Every structure is written in structure tokens, then in C-alpha cells.
Amino acid sequence: MHQNGAGDPEPVLEKIESHTWNGKTIPSKFFAQPGAENISAVLFTNSATITKFNRMGKLAGLGSKDVKLIRQGFMYNPDPE
């Protein structure tokens, strides 16, 4: 953020041409690429949560090596034995 002439905060807009990770670069604006005119995507999952995406990113090697993620849960077992 920076301040405009009136001293109010104003976002800084930045055009992103590509994305690079581990030496691989892909262009931005996938749906504007040649050959993608008829591609559409709808992503849905009834189990997608922020914590799930965090775990996926950690497993992919993204983020800080100092961060530890712990997953725990409970399951009801109706069988008393």
C-alpha cells in the first residue's frame, strides 16, 4: 500500500506476467492463453478447507521449513467392544 495525494492508503497494482517456482516458469492468465478459449473449470470439493490446502502445500515443499503442521481428529465408534 502507498498513500495517494490526499494521504489516503491506496493499493499498488502490479501486472504479473508469469509465475516461477523451482526453476519452472508458467505464464499468467491461463484462460487467455492460445488454445484455452474453450476451457472452463469449476473446482468443488466438500472437504476442501484452508488447513487441507496448507497440508498440501507443505507436502509439496512450499513455505518455511520451520513450520510444522499437525493433523488430529476424533471418530465415534458405536461398538462398545
Q: How far apart are the first and last CA of the chain?
A: 60
> Mean pLDDT, to the nearest integer, of 2-28?
88
CB of 6 within 8 A of CB of 12?
no
Q: What is the mean pLDDT of the chain?
A: 84
- What 3-state DSSP class applies to 32? helix
Q: What is the mean pLDDT of residues 16-20?
A: 93
Whether 42 has a pLDDT exceeding 70, the answer reads: no
Spell out where 1-81 has E strands.
2-3, 9-10, 18-21, 24-27
Give the pLDDT mean for 29-54: 79
Which cell numbers hold the place of 77? 465408534
Which band of pLDDT confidence, cut at 50, 70 and 90, is reported for residue 19?
very high
pLDDT in the model for residue 1: 65
